[in-house]
Amino acid sequence: MPHHVKSKALSHLRICDFTGQLAGAGATKFMAAFGAEVIRIEDPSNQGRWDILRGMPPYVDDRRGNELGGPFNNHNVGKLGITLNIKTEKGRELFERLVAISDCVTENFSSGVMRSWGYDYDALKEIREDIIYVSNCGFGHSGPYEKFKTWGPIVQATSGLTMSSALPDQPPAGWGYSYMDHTGAYFMAMAIMLAIHHRNRTGEGQYVDVAATEAALTLNGPVLLDYTVNGRPLRRDGYPDANHSVSPAMAPHNIYAAKPIPGSFDEAWIAIACRNDEDWHAMRDVLVADGCDWAANDDYGQLSGRMAAQDELDERIGEWCLRRDPYQSTDLLREVGVPANPVQTPEQRIDQDVNSAEARLWPTIRQAEMGRLRVDGIPAHFTKTDWSMTRGAATLGEDNDYVYGELLGLSQDEIAGLYEEGVL
């Protein structure tokens, strides 16, 4: 069963995995797609509900239940699933045997949970000298906020990402989802693999402390240097101004209302960015040919003039954009080399964009109870060890026989006994 992933890129690695939700689960999902044997441990005493996404909507049909949650399946594709009650003596013994044959232990609990079980890095190192232990929590495992709790929106709020996503004179718009759960998981995957490369070179394992807030802080670099070097804060009049571009300076650069597409939503939007004077001159010609004489104004010919008159430009371009649906205007502008694109809905970008099929982006997997459905794939392809996804999230304890039987050598009777004792 476990050899359902074709890639050999990471097939020599085994991860003993406590991660969940998206901030942790996303990291080991990526590695599982490249062949790493990810053994995800769930607590049988609460049916794995530490992961609050287990059983959560959306659902594929009218059925509801612990194994039927769409997000949980999406984030745990390709991993093995076992049950283990680590608060029992036998559970601890089995966990330690698993650590002894694993390269890495991963978790995204609140700070201190692993320590409370007696498994900090030093304890794990006693079990396996070169173990790599990677934790991922909002504020990290030290500092004044170590005990504070977070989830994606809180990470985004405290790191500056929520504030920097706004229009002038409006409250923060923020991110309409947990951008930093995805991205925190990316940084966790990087950290795991960096530590493995270090081990490959030196034989040393290590502890890695990933704090999603700190990863987030690194994603506003030029704004931060403008502050530390020039003393110019982002919190100032007229800012943030996320749909305009001051770094680099571009104008026009905005998202404009367009004519709605019949049968779709009653709103539609188009993004337009003139990177330089050449782009503007091309766009100007399109506008003038469409009867917008105002666009020929020489004041707009150079970037400085367009930056100074940005609001006026936006208003007039906004009127022009209402003449057509966003795909039609995009075609007109793209034809002359100007960056433009509809703000695509999920349906448009997933099912109607030719790039989805080209990129083989939404693989269909099979999950034991949900059946066949599509999930987020990986936006890269390798010539020799490409990823694959075929198997959905494991149901509770789906791989107990393989892990406890084949990997740890327990007999069927012993495994049955562990179920009875509440260890599995």
Q: Work out whether 267 is an interface residue with other proteins (CB under 8 A).
A: yes
Q: Which of 203/409 has CB closer to other proteins?
A: 203
| Gyration radius (Cα) of the chain, Å | 26
Interface stretch with other proteins, choices 38-46, 89-97, 219-227, 395-403 (CB under 8 A): 219-227
CB 196 within 8 A of CB 132: yes
Shortest distance, CB of residue 139 to other proteins, whole angstroms?
6
Question: Should residue 294 be labelled a site residue for other proteins when binding is judged by CB under 8 A?
Answer: no
Site size for other proteins, by CB under 8 A? 158
Asked if 286 interacts with other proteins (CB under 8 A), we say no
- CA-closest candidate to residue 55, choices 272, 302, 367: 367
Q: Is 37 exposed, middle or buried (0-12, 13-18, 19+ CB in 10 A)?
A: buried
Which listed range, 89-97, 231-239, 288-296, 389-397, lies at the site for other proteins (CB under 8 A)? 231-239
Task: Specify the stretch interacting with other proteins by CB under 8 A; choose among 40-48, 78-86, 226-234, 287-295.
Answer: 226-234
d(CA 414, CA 205): 32
Residues in the chain: 424
Residue 38 is inside which H or E element, if any? strand 37-42
Q: Report how far apart the first and last C-alpha atoms of the chain are (Å, whole number).
A: 20
Task: Assess 362 for contact with other proteins (CB under 8 A).
Answer: yes
Residue whose entry in the numeric block shows the structure tokens 């909507």: 57
Q: Which amino acid is at 182?
A: H
Cβ atoms within 10 Å, residue 244? 21
Whether the CA torsion 187, 214, 105, 91 is positive or negative: it is: negative
Our CB check for other proteins shows the closer of 31 and 394 to be 31
Residue written as token pair 């694109």: 341
Q: Restricting to residues 77-96, which ones interact with other proteins according to CB under 8 A?
A: none
Tell me how far, at minimum, the Cβ of 418 lies from other proteins, in Å: 31
177 vs 419, beta carbon nearer other proteins: 177
Site for other proteins in 133-152 (CB under 8 A): 139-140, 142-145, 147-152
Q: Which amino acid is at 266?
A: D
Q: What are phi and psi for residue 391, nearest 5 degrees? A: -110, 130
**388 is an interface residue for other proteins by CB under 8 A:** no
Q: Which of 226, 277, 312, 401 binds other proteins (CB under 8 A)?
A: 226
Q: Should residue 248 be labelled a site residue for other proteins when binding is judged by CB under 8 A?
A: yes
Show the binding pattern over residues 172-211: x = contacts other proteins (CB under 8 A), - = does not. xxxxxxxx-xxx--xxxxxx-xxxxxx-xxx-x-xxxxxx
**Residue 275 near residue 333, CB atoms below 8 Å:** no
Beta-ladder partners of 342: 270
Please report, as residue ranges, which positions from 31 to 50 form the binding site for other proteins (by CB under 8 A). 31, 34
Interaction of residue 320 with other proteins, rule CB under 8 A: no
Interacting positions 94-133 with other proteins (CB under 8 A): none
Q: How far is the CB of 398 from other proteins (least distance, A)?
A: 20
- Token readout for 93 is 């013994």
Q: Is 275 in the site for other proteins (CB under 8 A)?
A: yes
Q: Does 240 bind other proteins (CB under 8 A)?
A: yes
Please tell me whether residue 16 binds other proteins under the rule CB under 8 A. Answer: no
